Amino acid sequence: MKFQVNNEEVFASTGGRPFDTNKPLIIFIHGSGLTHMCWVLQTRYFAFHGYSVLALDLPGHGLSGGKSLTSIEDMADWINDVIDSVGYKEASLVGHSQGCLVAMECTSRYSNKIKTLSLMGGAGAIPMNPELLSLAENSDAKAVDLMMDFAHGPSGHFGGHPVPGLYHLNTGSMLVQSKEIKDTLGVDFRACENYTNGYEAAKKLDLPTLSILADKDRMCRLKDGQKLADYIKGSEVHIIQNCGHMMLLEEADQTLAILKKFILEKYPNN
Amino acid sequence: MDPKTYKFDTLSLHAGYQPDKNSGARQVPIYQTTSYLFDDVDHAAALFNLERGGHIYSRISNPTVSVLEERVAALEGGTAAIATSSGMAAIFLAIMTLCESGDHIVASSQVYGGTANLLRLTLPKFGIKTTFVKPRDTQGFKKAIQENTKCIFGELLGNPGNELMNMPEVADIAHDAGIPLIIDSTYQTPYLCKPFDFGADIVVHSLTKWMAGHGSSMAGIIVEGGKFNWMQNDKFPSLTKEYEGYHGLSFAEEFGPVAFTMKARAEGMRDFGPCLSPQNAWNVMQGIETLSVRMEKHCANAEKMVEFLLGNESVAWVSHPSAPDHPDYELAKKILPKGRGSMIAFGIKGGKEAGTTFINNVKLASHLANVGDTRTLVIHPASATHSQMDEETLKFAGLSQDMIRLSVGIEDIEDIKNDFEDGFRAAKKLKLVVNK
């Protein structure tokens, strides 16, 4: 659905069901350069099972208007604005990669509104490889190729997509290239590079938090994800084996099963 | 720093499959089953609602077929693929995923006879009309586009005349009009050309041909490039608007770079059912494993045959883009740098009668209605594959009565040449008899 936030048009997938403000809200926040489409194998379940879902396209990404926000802090404030704009007082946040930084920062700033936090492939900081950052800021398609390489584990590279006929690497590549690379991936990578408040934000968190990590993650390494989880009081940690950074697609069923159990228990829909 | 993603030859062998965890089977298992157990009612509902991936019924998807689909998508550089029971099924499914009654197609006039009949005679029964344009008439494609045109369709190298469509320019014309370019890339295979790199949006193949190579199994496939923005205009409401068949789902919003494939499967496979059998999918994969080595030999043999035919006194003309006098020689070097394919069209002196005598007297080359086999194949299109066309339509499609279509195999080149010498000798004898 499309709606307005700060006078800019925003697109969010509602998981194939009408948006219903009588149901608890789950907001999904994508990673660098990506769009709402990376969440398709999680959002539709919740939308069909008693939740209202917003899988957002961040400003300047996917089908949303405006320009990309240049800092994680601005993105965190923008998520708060989204919650206000759709008429909710509270929400549950789910983030992937850069989306984890945004979700954590948002939760630390607006702790009264956020009820649960689910982090996938997260870390307290995501410093960028200088060459990769430069390629992305110059709209070099090689940045996307490198990202697809780093972001996928063995199953992603060989294939075996959970949805018949889809090929991981090329689908991810096209998602990132749906807009000018420097305007989305370049800006997002720079925002990640500049963000240094992750561990401080994590220390402030006092809500049910889930971390889903992958043993073959080369974008946000397992040890960095575990370090972040150690900073969060009572964080629940699950590690998916033989999987890369894109666990939400590479191991979509496992990811959904873990997320389902956590959200249904900590943020029930009744 | 360079990406370490797998390259073409590796993907030919491995893409889409990791050894089965339960059995350890190295080769892709043939899942000869119609249907798949649901864990519980919720699992079944989730599959039907597209909440999660998986298989329901083999008309819609099958694990063996899915490996083939991913493999071809990987080789083509596409986001997704959907395999079909034949190449013609792929073309039909691609068109029916885009078009509705009242819509229009612009197509190259030089296409396989079956495709020409589908566009010219069968699709009008569904209210879908086609305007044909000669493949080299690039601006003709632009002029033929109407308000209700939903795609441009063509074979990169036209069957059987070997006229090359200027794919990058035709793609620009299609995109300026807000419609996709569909390329039948059967003749090229992704080893010789990846049409997505030259602006195509959807690629179809008859996998029966070079991709399989062995001539044992029928199969087709549609591959999606993932770049085309279906939401840029209101030409494709069945992709962009709420679809009643899936609780108001908008394929383009929900699935973006794989929207076309998701619709083709969810609607087209469900309602038309042109599914590929797992056995044939497996057979095709055996061929794809050796695609690059076969294509190199096909192309090398073809170039030697072009040289041989050009120097033969029984031959009136030869059409193959590797010949320096071919009108598309320069364009072919750009679009087909690894080889110009193994299809040759040539005219035999003495016209139709000499042609039929030649075909009746070659022994190694097989006279049959197929191309892209590892074995050398010949046919006289005007009396076979394109026989439903009248003289005027034949001419418009670039065919002549003296034309012989040759699909060069990977046998020893000297044996192919010797076989052709025998055929030419017989045709020449006929001419002498007639002259007496």
Mean pLDDT value across residues B383-405? 78
Mean pLDDT value across residues B158-185? 95
The yes-or-no verdict on residue B430 having pLDDT over 80 is no
- Best of A39, A48, A163, A177 to mutate (most B CBs within 10 Å, chain B): A163
Contact B257 A175 (CB under 8 A): yes
The yes-or-no verdict on residue B248 having pLDDT over 90 is no
Helix, strand or coil for residue A95? strand
The yes-or-no verdict on residue A114 having pLDDT over 70 is yes
Q: Hey, is the C-beta of A127 within 8 angstroms of any chain B C-beta?
A: no
How many angstroms separate the CA of residue B19 from the nearest CA in chain A?
A: 10
For all residues of chain B together, what is the average pLDDT?
94
Contact A170 B78 (CB under 8 A): yes
According to DSSP, the β-strands at B403-407 and B377-379 are: antiparallel
The pLDDT tens digits for A45-81 are 999 999 999 999 999 999 999 999 999 999 999 999 9
Q: Hey, is the C-beta of A162 within 8 angstroms of any chain B C-beta?
A: yes
How many angstroms separate the CA of residue A6 from the nearest CA in chain B?
A: 23
Tokens of A229: 């989880």
Contact B248 A162 (CB under 8 A): no
Round to whole Å and give the CA distance between B216 and B209: 9
Short-list A182, A233, A226, A178, CA closest to A204? A233
Give the confidence band of B21 by pLDDT, cuts at 50, 70, 90: confident
Q: Hey, is the C-beta of A148 within 8 angstroms of any chain B C-beta?
A: yes
Share of chain A above pLDDT 90, in %: 95
Contact A62 B248 (CB under 8 A): no
Contact between residue A42 and residue A109 where contact means Cβ atoms under 8 Å apart: no
For all residues of chain A together, what is the average pLDDT?
96
Task: Please report residues of A whose CB lies closer than 8 A to that of B226.
Answer: 170-171, 173-174
Confidence at residue A94, expressed as pLDDT on a 0 to 100 scale: 98
Nearest by CB to residue A44, choosing from B51, B83, B248, is B51
Short-list B300, B302, B111, B284, CA closest to B211? B284
How many angstroms separate the CA of residue A109 from the nearest CA in chain B?
A: 31
The pLDDT tens digits for B43-65 are 999 999 889 999 999 999 999 99
Mean pLDDT value across residues B162-174? 96
Round to whole Å and give the CA distance between A222 and A220: 7
Peptide bond into B321 cis (omega under 30): no
Please tell me the pTM assigned to this model. 0.95
Q: Hey, is the C-beta of A130 within 8 angstroms of any chain B C-beta?
A: no
How many angstroms separate the CA of residue B214 from the nearest CA in chain A?
A: 24
Mean pLDDT value across residues B269-287? 97
Nearest by CB to residue A170, choosing from B14, B52, B73, is B73
Contact B254 A159 (CB under 8 A): no
Round to whole Å and give the CA distance between B342 and B300: 8
The yes-or-no verdict on residue A148 having pLDDT over 80 is yes
Give the confidence band of B432 by pLDDT, cuts at 50, 70, 90: low
Tokens of A262: 């956590």
Contact between residue B105 and residue B95 where contact means Cβ atoms under 8 Å apart: yes
Nearest by CB to residue B79, choosing from A155, A166, A252, is A166
Residue with the two structure tokens 């193949």:
B205
The yes-or-no verdict on residue B436 having pLDDT over 70 is no
* Closest residue of chain B to A172, computed from CA coordinates: B79
Contact between residue B154 and residue B184 where contact means Cβ atoms under 8 Å apart: yes
Mean pLDDT value across residues B66-94? 98
Nearest by CB to residue A161, choosing from B14, B70, B248, is B70
Round to whole Å and give the CA distance between A98 and A103: 9
Sort A223 into a burial class: Cβ within 10 Å, 0-12 / 13-18 / 19+.
Answer: exposed
* Closest residue of chain B to A157, computed from CA coordinates: B5
* Closest residue of chain A to B68, computed from CA coordinates: A165
Measured between alpha carbons, how far is residue B365 from residues A239, B242, B298, B359, B361 in Å?
A: 59, 53, 14, 8, 9
The yes-or-no verdict on residue B393 having pLDDT over 80 is no
Amino acid at B210: W
If one compares B435 and A43, the residue with the highest pLDDT of the two is: A43
Contacts of residues B240-247 at CB distance under 8 Å and 24 or more positions apart, as own/partner, are B243/B267, B246/A16, B246/B49, B246/B50, B247/A16, B247/A17, B247/B49
Round to whole Å and give the CA distance between B264 and A245: 29
Task: Please report residues of B whose CB lies closer than 8 A to that of A165.
Answer: 61, 66, 69-70, 73, 80-83, 261, 265
Round to whole Å and give the CA distance between B205 and A236: 48
Confidence at residue B386, expressed as pLDDT on a 0 to 100 scale: 67
> Across the beta sheet with B377-379, what order do the strands follow?
B315-319, B343-348, B403-407, B377-379, B366-367
How many angstroms separate the CA of residue A15 from the nearest CA in chain B?
A: 8
Round to whole Å and give the CA distance between B66 and B60: 10
Confidence at residue B401, expressed as pLDDT on a 0 to 100 scale: 84
The pLDDT tens digits for A181-196 are 999 999 999 999 999 9
Give the confidence band of B423 by pLDDT, cuts at 50, 70, 90: very high
DSSP letter, residue A7? T
Residue with the two structure tokens 């792929």:
B90
If one compares B381 and A51, the residue with the highest pLDDT of the two is: A51
Give the confidence band of A129 by pLDDT, cuts at 50, 70, 90: very high
Give the confidence band of B114 by pLDDT, cuts at 50, 70, 90: very high
Sort B411 into a burial class: Cβ within 10 Å, 0-12 / 13-18 / 19+.
Answer: middle
Nearest by CB to residue A158, choosing from B17, B55, B258, is B17
Nearest by CB to residue A162, choosing from B52, B60, B74, is B52
Mean pLDDT value across residues A12-29? 95
Instruction: Count other Cβ atoms within 10 Å, centred on residue B244.
Output: 8
Contact A45 B51 (CB under 8 A): yes
Share of chain B above pLDDT 90, in %: 85
Give the confidence band of B159 by pLDDT, cuts at 50, 70, 90: confident
Phi then psi for B378, rounded to 5 degrees?
Answer: -135, 150
Confidence at residue B431, expressed as pLDDT on a 0 to 100 scale: 61
Helix, strand or coil for residue A18? coil
How many angstroms separate the CA of residue B208 from the nearest CA in chain A?
A: 19
Confidence at residue B160, expressed as pLDDT on a 0 to 100 scale: 80
Share of chain B above pLDDT 70, in %: 97
Mean pLDDT value across residues B391-418? 88
Q: What is the distance between the terminal CA atoms of chain B, rounded to a whole angstrom?
A: 74
Give the confidence band of B305 by pLDDT, cuts at 50, 70, 90: very high
Size of chain B, expressed as the number of residues it contains:
436
Short-list B367, B190, B378, CA closest to B294? B190
